[in-house]
Amino acid sequence: MKPPHLTSEQIQELGPPCYETLARAEWTDRNEHVNIRYLVAVFDDAGDAFYPTVGLGDAAHRSRESGTMDLEHHTHFVREVRVGDRLTVYLRIVGVSGKRFHYVMFLVNETTGEVASMFECVNTFVDLVRRKASPWPEDVRVALLALMEGHRALSWPAPVCGSMSA
């Protein structure tokens, strides 16, 4: 499935990025560009940076004996990323259920002004004592729903693969 064309300007409608970094030399492969495994790591780091904004920081998780776990991913690699490129990640929430949320992250190469990759994911809240998916704490659920409502007001549809949902 070919991803839709989105401009960095459209992505910036989401508000400030949840994560920023520079592409490092140790991330490159024999093709002299950033290897896909490191782009997925950037998305993972961006998720860790996002979670505290909805009440899922490390201290909150420790007090609840909870965590989150990804259940499913779909990744589009759209443009090359090279060493030294300045990268930002934006997040758009697509759906929220009692235990899960469905989102898309956009990796923008600020050096070139292009969307370099898109990462779609379904994530769940987990009780780490029982090792089972559990309902979102109410404050987290409310925060996720509020963000989702704001994202639904954007002028462009979320580019989802169609096989995932919260």
Q: How far apart are CA 127 and CA 148, in angstroms?
A: 24
Residue 3: pLDDT over 90: no
Q: What is the pLDDT of residues 39-76, one digit of tens each?
A: 999 999 999 999 999 999 999 999 999 999 999 999 99
Residue 14, pLDDT above cutoff 90: yes
Residue 31 belongs to a domain with what CATH number?
3.10.129.10
Instruction: Specify the pTM.
Output: 0.94
Look at residue 84 and tell me if it is in a domain.
Answer: yes
> Which residue blocks in the chain are alpha helix, DSSP H?
8-12, 36-50, 58-64, 138-152
Mean of pLDDT values over 86-115: 97
> How confident is the model at residue 166, as a pLDDT?
75
pLDDT for res 43: 98
Domain that includes residue 84, residue range? 8-152
**How far is 22 from 12, CA to CA, in rounded Å?**
18
Per the structure, the count of domains in the chain is 1
